Homo-oligomer: A and B are copies of this chain.
Amino acid sequence: MQIRYSLTELVSLFEGASVAGHTDSPVTGIATLKTAQAGDLSFLGNKKYKSDVLNCSASVILLPNDYVGEPKENQAFIRVSNSSLALAEVCRNVQKTLWPALSQPSIHATAVIHPTAVVHPTCTIGAFTVIEEGAVISANTVIATSVHIGRHVQIGEHCSFMPKVTIMDYCVLGNRIIIQPGVVIGADGFGYEMVNGAYLKLPQVGNVIIEDDVEIGANSTIDRARFGSTRIGKGTKIDNLVQIAHNCTVGAHCIVVAQVGVSGSTTLEDYVVLGGQAGLAGHLTIGKGSQVGAQSGINCDLAPKSYVRGTPAYPFVQAQKVEILSRRLPELFKRVSSIEDSLKHTHNESSTIIKDQDVSL
């Protein structure tokens, strides 16, 4: 994965950057402040790592405009307004080298596309991909190898589906959606009714609707609705191995970290953040902008801007206090025992006093 940038080439990627120092070494790698060597580009993305800049051997370091300090010999500082976004700009540039644009769209000879499916001529379709009856794929969408697009699925423009994605029948996806490998969208919801000692499957005839600019991580699963739609809102980003159950409504611009599970019919309002491995019960509403700590278990509605953790979850600060006090339980039990001992003693003493008094009176 060879990259090679001169200092001048790098600087040209950022508007309004200022340069201090100089290096003749071309940049041939990207690394963190702690691991960077000569020839690497590094960056200060989080101020808490500021002191790492001093010992950093990178040839070039991206820094926020307000960083105070001088580069070492044969080292250049590039100051920008947002060094994390500047690094992203470099990576976007690297991306173009690693994945050069296809010369032209193409449908692989092995793809199986139903005659009633409509694939826009600007689409790219990989080997062994299947597009079923009535599906519609819009302009500039790129679909990798071994993807399954079910019957009557609709997919918008400029989407990117990685290998082995499965979109089941009747699901509807917007534009600029990125789906990582192995994702399953539109499998049956998990619904049964016990009849005579056995579970009867409730047919799941709804679908999944995914709005524009959503990204879904590898091997995650989003179930189709029992009826109506399971819905993922615009701009929401879902990590790997996440489970979104049937009839959930996920708002816009939510972040759902890896291995989260959301049970059926639960609603996330916009800008909700769910930490990794959190679990949500069904039929809940999580208010706008709420944040749920990793591994938390949510069993009740949350007001907007809630900040909770624990199982069952409660407000973050309170949860933290309880966690700390929990660890002092051995001490607390001892203190209570000691009080009890002392009281027994006092009581005896006190009895003695009374007795003495009885005698004395």
Contacts and interface: CB of A to CB of B under 8 A. Distances in A.
Contact of A240 (B94, B221, B342, B360): B221
A205 interface: yes
Interface string A192-212: 110101111111111100000
Contacts of A335: 336, 340
Contacts of A245: 240, 258
Contacts of A217: 187-188, 190, 221
A279 B309 CA distance: 14
A243 interface: yes
Interface stretch (A7-15, A64-72, A160-168): A160-168
Given A202-B91, A213-B198, A281-B294, A239 B190 contact: yes
Contacts of A215: 188, 201
A350 B346 contact: yes
A210 B226 CA distance: 26
Contacts of A223: 218, 240
Given A188-B217, A199-B235, 14 more contacts: A1-B206, A29-B227, A99-B151, A128-B128, A182-B182, A219-B241, A221-B241, A245-B258, A258-B263, A295-B297, A311-B311, A314-B327, A318-B327, A339-B339
17 contacts: A88-B200, A91-B202, A166-B181, A178-B188, A181-B184, A182-B184, A184-B219, A218-B221, A279-B295, A295-B311, A311-B311, A325-B330, A339-B339, A342-B343, A343-B343, A349-B350, A360-B361
Contacts of A241: 219, 221, 241, 243, 261
Contacts of A99: 151, 169
B178 A201 contact: yes
Interface of A: 1, 29-32, 35, 82, 84-85, 87-88, 91-92, 94-95, 98-99, 108, 110, 112, 126-128, 130, 144-146, 148, 151-152, 162-164, 166, 168-170, 178, 180-182, 184, 187-188, 190, 192-193, 195, 197-207, 213, 215, 217-219, 221, 223, 226-228, 235, 237, 239-241, 243, 245, 253, 255, 257-259, 261, 263, 265, 276-277, 279, 281, 294-295, 297, 311-312, 314, 318, 321-323, 325-330, 332-333, 335-336, 339-340, 342-343, 346-347, 349-350, 353-354, 356-357, 360-361
B294 A294 contact: no
B259 A259 contact: yes
A150 to B, nearest CB: 8
Contacts of A349: 350
Contacts of A218: 184, 187, 221, 223
A205 to B, nearest CB: 4
